[in-house]
Amino acid sequence: QVTAKTAFLFILPQYNVSVPTADGELVQYHYGLKDLVTILFYIFIAIILHAVVQEYVLDKINRRLHLSKVKHSKFNESGQLVAFHLSSVIWCLYVVVTEGYISNPRSLWENYPHVYLPFQVKFFYLCQLAYWLHALPELYFQKVRKEEIPRQLRCIALYLLHIAGAYLLNLTRLGLILLLLQYLAEFFFHMAQLVYFTDENNEKLFNIWAVVFVVTRLFTLTLYILVIGFGLPRVENQAIDPERGNFFSFLFNNILFRMSVLLLVCLFQASVMWRFIHFQLRRWREYWNEQSSRKRAAATAAGTKQPAKPLKRDSGYHENGVVKAENGTSPRTKKLKSP
């Protein structure tokens, strides 16, 4: 029994409480320090799954493609993220649908703070934190190039900041919707990269990703304005109460603070869109340069293979459609009369 209790501490979420409802009691969860033990266990699980995907899927494909070192590293990164984003999108979509967060948008801010979480919501957040924390030692295991480490560290830090912030500040419902939108756009991007590595002429998925990216950015900005600008200021309990998990809802009654937060959100989304536009312009420029170079190469090859035929010149000049000799006589040879 002692061993079983210790195993449950690693495997299952802790801090379960019975919340009375109209139909009886409902078991829900809140967070605490014991969550670190559970996250540590799933970090090792994520490392094992990472190695399985790398060994039995990505390495076999790499042997067939014969990619360069740079493309080999990017292919492995995109392959791992495609597997993760696809599973996370399916899991997150299932959670938000079953919990009714999509069908009832008011639930994103009603009864804030959302201290008590359903089992699947808390387990989802613990697994997300475990995955992005496991990405840190994977930088060493995968022998990532030094030039790529700052970019990947920045990406990991942003994901950890947003996921942990939503989890600790009891904004888990809003965080689930935002993660769903973000992971959906990232899935199409890394899927497009995988297809591009196998066939450099196939860039259709990049166009699909561009549409999905713009749509998800618009939905993300709309959600921020809806929840921060209109939802949280209407919460009944505006008094700060750290014991109940209410940290800052009273601040949103202050219109200056609310507008400052929305301004920061808009600036961040604008910077993301600027990088997206810059990426698209660079990609289109490279595409048209490549197409023009191919046309020039094809024209050069055609010119060397098919030499120009010499033009036949007439010995006279044309007058009313009739060829005449230079002295005015007809160039046609006269028949000699027999004597």
The tens digit of pLDDT for each residue in 78-126 reads 999 999 999 999 999 999 999 989 888 888 888 777 888 999 999 999 9
State CA 69 to chain mean position distance.
23
Q: What pLDDT is attached to residue 161? A: 93
Answer yes or no: pTM beyond 0.95. no
Of 105, 122, 301, nearest in space to 222 by CA: 105
Region of poorest pLDDT, from 60-69, 75-84, 146-155: 60-69
Whole-Å CA distances, 130 to 77, 169, 256, 297 = 18, 18, 36, 51
Average pLDDT, the chain: 82
What type of residue is 323?
Answer: V
d(CA 202, CA 192): 9
Question: In this structure, are residues 203 and 287 in contact, taking their beta carbons and an 8 Å threshold?
Answer: yes
Token pair for 277: 């536009």
Token pair for 9: 């501490």
Cis peptide before 113 (omega within 30 of 0): yes
Question: In this structure, are residues 178 and 220 in contact, taking their beta carbons and an 8 Å threshold?
Answer: yes
d(CA 238, CA 192): 46
Q: Is residue 195 scored above 60 in pLDDT?
A: yes
Mean pLDDT across 175-196: 93
Angle between helices 204-224 and 255-305 (to 10 degrees): 170
d(CA 72, CA 259): 45
Question: In this structure, are residues 190 and 184 in contact, taking their beta carbons and an 8 Å threshold?
Answer: no
Q: Quick one: CA torsion of 71, 199, 80, 95, rounded to 10 degrees?
A: 150
Pick the more confident residue, 334 or 128.
Answer: 128
d(CA 230, CA 224): 9
Query: Phi and psi at residue 21, in whole multiples of 5°?
Result: -130, 180
Token pair for 312: 């036949």
d(CA 193, CA 212): 15
Q: Is residue 187 scored above 50 in pLDDT?
A: yes
Q: Specify the length of the chain in residues.
A: 339
Region of poorest pLDDT, from 91-105, 156-170, 186-200, 257-271: 257-271
Q: What pLDDT is attached to residue 319? A: 46
pLDDT in tens, 23-44: 777 888 988 899 999 999 999 9
d(CA 78, CA 88): 15
- Name the residue ranges covered by the structural domains of the chain: 1-238+246-296
pLDDT in tens, 237-246: 655 655 565 6
Please give the angle made by the CA atoms of 157, 162 and 168, to the nearest 5 degrees.
115
Question: In this structure, are residues 18 and 116 in contact, taking their beta carbons and an 8 Å threshold?
Answer: no
d(CA 232, CA 7): 39
Q: Please name the residue ranges forming H helices in the chain.
A: 2-11, 35-53, 59-65, 69-98, 119-141, 149-168, 172-198, 204-224, 255-305
Region at 100 (left for phi over 0; alpha for psi -120 to 50; beta for the rest): left
Token pair for 50: 């990472």
Q: Is residue 176 scored above 50 in pLDDT?
A: yes
For residue 25, give the 3-state DSSP assignment.
Answer: strand
Radius of gyration of the chain (CA): 33
Q: What pLDDT is attached to residue 242? A: 59
Q: What pLDDT is attached to residue 112? A: 79
* CB-CB neighbours of 134 under 10 Å: 21
Mean pLDDT across 279-291: 80
